[in-house]
């Protein structure tokens, strides 16, 4: 199969510390449906994996400077961790949910059917987060499968065999750091709604990362209507089907000085957009020592985070990112053959001006057996590589989607 594809479309990367940017209109995410993954990571349309937030009692927190009060050990249960193997992040289960909403209506009580022709983008939250934070990305590149079908763009991350092997064979210290985050979730969540009574001083259950509860929402950024799916860590109080009950749980190293504060402020960029895209109003961060001792917890209101970092060394402006994400929407999702796109940004510190360029290509054999007959994702990929210019943050770059 060798059909022509649209010519490449190019846009400028934003000047990160330039004049304020007017943000595009953003529609509050509305839940469409939810589903769970079982301990065997089998998808089921039920809320069996839904967890409820239970604050960790102050008596269980440690002293950030050490001493007799060491705090909860986030390394507890590490040897029993049932870790879900890293996979290629297929979009199949999200499409199952989308297909169900199209056929049966939403699960939020409205019962409305959704028409895919009204949707610009269907993707997991992680994919959209990586795109929208690309102007600040400083790490290695990544690949993404893209297909446009009947005006709707379907996105999923594409991992090469080498990258998949790397993610499944991380160094021991990195593996433990990952576990600390999951252990914090176990200490902070319960299978039944938490009331005003003190939380039991006990472990919430051995970590099995196969178990997940996911929400599927619809939202709109500028003229781009999106259906986004993503894991939700827990809800506060009883769940009534609204996003304003969602809570995101994160861990970070204890802040001991200005340099730690800058690192944390940069980390908040991803924290913010991960929650913003699903409509999660609250992020609870557990601060820990390098050895995994929990020293404190703090709750952040998602929409207040940008003001916290404004004007600081590690600061960033969400309006810049939203405008960048919304700019290419009309070109990227315009009617076109169901063909893949390829985009590339040179490696960091490249003598070339970093840019992201869409390249027309021919279709290749499908790498997904099941894509719900709505689209097929090709082996051709989009390559997102670190976009930090060697000359500093006030750079202007070309990009395409």
Report pLDDT digits (tens) over 62-86.
Answer: 765 555 457 889 999 999 999 998 8
Please check whether residue 51 is in contact with residue 58, taking contact to mean a CB–CB distance below 8 angstroms: no
Beta strand 224-231 pairing with 212-221: antiparallel
Residue 234: which of 223, 224, 245, 225 has the closest Cα? Answer: 245
pLDDT in tens, 9-46: 444 566 676 677 788 899 999 999 999 999 999 999 99
Q: What is the pLDDT of residue 201?
A: 54
Residues 114 and 122: their CA atoms lie apart, in Å, by: 13
Exposed, middle or buried by CB within 10 Å (0-12, 13-18, 19+), for 261? middle
Residue 74: which of 207, 261, 267 has the closest Cα? Answer: 207
The whole-model pTM stands at 0.82
Q: Which residues, in sequence order, are bridge partners of residue 276?
A: none
Query: What average pLDDT score do residues 332-354 get?
Result: 40
Q: What is the pLDDT of residue 357?
A: 44
Q: DSSP states of 147-171 as a string?
A: EEETTEEEEEEE--HHHHHHHHS--
Q: What is the pLDDT of residue 2?
A: 37
Mean pLDDT score across all residues of the chain: 77
Instruction: Grade residue 333 by pLDDT with cuts at 50, 70 and 90.
Output: very low
Domain residue limits, the chain: 11-396
Query: What average pLDDT score do residues 43-60 get?
Result: 92
Residue 330: other Cβ atoms inside 10 A: 13
Is residue 337's pLDDT more than 80?
Answer: no
Of the CA atoms within 13 Å of residue 102, those in its CB half-sphere come to 14
| Separation of CA 199 from chain center | 29
Largest CA distance in the chain: 69
Beta strand 342-344 pairing with 142-149: unpaired
Beta strand 246-253 pairing with 282-288: parallel
Residues 290 and 287: their CA atoms lie apart, in Å, by: 10
Instruction: Measure Cα distances from 291 to 41, 64, 74, 179, 265 in Å.
Output: 30, 12, 8, 12, 22
Residue 190: which of 205, 174, 201 has the closest Cα? Answer: 205
- Position with higher pLDDT, 16 vs 177: 177
pLDDT in tens, 82-125: 999 888 778 889 999 998 888 876 655 555 667 888 899 999 99
Mean pLDDT comparison of 240-244, 347-351, 352-356, 360-364, highest-scoring range: 240-244
pLDDT in tens, 239-291: 999 999 999 999 999 999 999 999 999 999 999 999 999 999 999 999 999 99
| End-to-end CA, the chain | 23
Backbone angles phi, psi at 88, to 5 degrees: -90, 10
pLDDT in tens, 139-167: 666 667 777 777 888 888 777 788 888 88
Residue 32: which of 91, 146, 119, 151 has the closest Cα? Answer: 119
Q: What is the pLDDT of residue 226?
A: 95
pLDDT in tens, 191-242: 888 764 555 556 777 899 999 999 999 999 999 999 999 999 999 998 999 9
> What crossing angle do the helices spanning 318-326 and 258-278 adopt, rounded to 10°?
40
Backbone angles phi, psi at 84, to 5 degrees: -70, 125
Mean pLDDT comparison of 57-66, 116-125, 173-182, highest-scoring range: 173-182
Angular region, 244: left φ>0, alpha ψ -120 to 50, beta rest: alpha
């Amino acid at each position: 199969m060798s059909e022509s594809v649209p010519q490449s479309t190019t846009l400028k990367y934003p000047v990160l510390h330039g004049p304020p940017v007017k943000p595009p209109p953003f529609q509050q995410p509305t839940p469409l449906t939810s589903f769970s993954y079982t301990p065997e990571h089998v998808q089921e349309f039920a809320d069996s994996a839904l967890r409820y937030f239970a604050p960790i009692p102050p008596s269980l927190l440690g002293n950030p400077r050490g001493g007799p009060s060491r705090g909860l050990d986030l390394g507890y249960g590490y040897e029993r961790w049932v870790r879900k193997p890293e996979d290629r992040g297929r979009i199949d289960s999200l499409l199952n949910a989308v297909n169900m909403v199209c056929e049966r209506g939403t699960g939020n009580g409205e019962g409305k059917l959704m028409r895919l022709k009204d949707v610009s983008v269907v993707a997991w939250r992680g994919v959209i987060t990586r795109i929208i934070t690309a102007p600040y990305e400083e790490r290695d590149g990544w690949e993404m499968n893209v297909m446009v079908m009947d005006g709707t763009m379907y996105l999923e991350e594409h991992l090469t065999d080498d990258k998949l092997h790397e993610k499944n064979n991380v160094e021991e210290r990195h593996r433990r750091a990952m576990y600390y985050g999951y252990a914090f979730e176990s200490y902070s969540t319960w299978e039944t709604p938490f009331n005003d009574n003190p939380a039991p001083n006990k472990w919430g259950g051995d970590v099995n990362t196969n178990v997940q509860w996911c929400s599927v929402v619809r939202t709109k950024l500028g003229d781009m209507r999106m259906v986004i799916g993503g894991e939700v860590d827990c809800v506060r109080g009883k769940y009534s089907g609204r996003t304003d009950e969602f809570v995101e749980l994160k861990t970070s190293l204890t802040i001991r000085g200005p340099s730690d504060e800058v690192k944390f402020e940069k980390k908040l960029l991803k924290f913010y957009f991960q929650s913003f895209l699903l409509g999660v109003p609250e992020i609870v961060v557990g601060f820990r020592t390098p050895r995994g001792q929990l020293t404190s917890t703090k709750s952040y209101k998602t929409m207040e985070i940008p003001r916290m970092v404004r004007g600081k060394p590690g600061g960033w402006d969400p309006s810049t990112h939203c405008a960048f994400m919304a700019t290419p929407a009309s070109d990227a999702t315009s009617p076109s053959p169901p063909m893949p796109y390829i985009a590339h940004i040179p490696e960091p510190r490249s003598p070339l001006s970093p840019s992201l360029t869409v390249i027309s290509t021919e279709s290749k054999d499908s790498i997904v057996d099941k894509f719900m007959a709505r689209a097929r994702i090709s082996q051709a990929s989009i390559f997102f590589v670190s976009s930090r210019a060697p000359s500093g943050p006030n750079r202007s770059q070309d990009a395409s989607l």
